[in-house]
Amino acid sequence: MHARILPALLVLAATLVSVLLVVTSVAGRAENAASEDGVVRVRSAYPFPETVERLKSNVKAKGIMMFSEIDQARLAADAGIALRPSALLVFGNPPLGIQFITSKAEAGLDWPVRLLVYEDKSGQTWAAYSDFDWIARRHGIKDREQAFKMAASVIASIAAAVATK
């Protein structure tokens, strides 16, 4: 009888370990996945100033146009409002991004790409951007699937530059 129970217990244990590994893997990636609001959040492994510089350098290294850097904390301070460090990086690749606008003019609300870098209440720095699948759904664009995949891949690779040291 024990000879039959032991193999069954081993199979059960292996199954539970497999399920645990899958759940742990999915939970670890959830932080970077787009939430229902269409925002992808990436925890930075670097302090705020270094995160901003690394992201800008990564954009430049990829040959992508940097349109502007908006220091939101400075703007807040100029208005007499306290704000934790926050900067908005605006960049893009016109031959790629304009494709979304030619499909639907209102897609211009989401292009060029905007990458928000901010420090939360605990001092953790984050990079956040709009998920391109969410943008496609928002505007009902169905004829630019490859362009959206390319844009999603590029922004993910840029944000990944600060995710680990």
- Tell me which residues of the chain have a pLDDT lower than 70: 1-35
Cβ atoms of residues 64 and 91 within 8 Å:
yes
Q: Is 39 found in the same domain as 22?
A: no
Tally of structural domains, the chain? 2
Backbone angles phi, psi at 119, to 5 degrees: -110, 130
Q: Are residues 10 and 64 in the same domain?
A: no
Evaluate whether residue 89 is within a structural domain: yes
Using DSSP, state whether 88 is helix, strand or coil. strand
- CATH number of the domain that residue 64 is part of: 3.30.310.70
Residue 151 lies in a domain: yes
Spell 93-112 as b/e; 16+ CB within 10 A means b: beebbbbbbebbeebeebbb
Q: How far apart are CA 160 and CA 165, in angstroms?
A: 10
Beta carbons of 36 and 138 less than 8 angstroms apart = no
Q: Are residues 6 and 63 in the same domain?
A: no
Q: Which two tokens stand for residue 110?
A: 């989401």
Residue 100 maps to a domain: yes
| Domain contains 74 | yes
Tell whether 81 and 121 lie within a shared domain.
yes
Count of CB atoms situated within 10 Å of the CB of 48: 20
Model pLDDT, residue 165: 82
Check residue 41 and give its pLDDT: 97
The token pair at 129 is: 């951007």
Q: Tell me: do 129 and 59 sit in the same domain.
A: yes
44 and 5 both lie in a single domain: no
Is residue 6 in some structural domain?
A: yes
d(CA 62, CA 128): 19
In a domain, 165, yes or no: no
Q: What are the residues whose beta carbons fall under 8 Å from the beta carbon of 98, sequence distance 6 or more? A: 111
- Residue 37 confidence (pLDDT): 85
Residue 44 lies in a domain: yes
Q: 84 near 119, Cβ under 8 Å?
A: yes
Residue 122 lies in domain? 34-160
On whether both 41 and 121 belong to a single domain, the answer is yes
pLDDT 10s digits, 72-110? 999 999 999 999 999 999 999 998 888 899 999 999 999
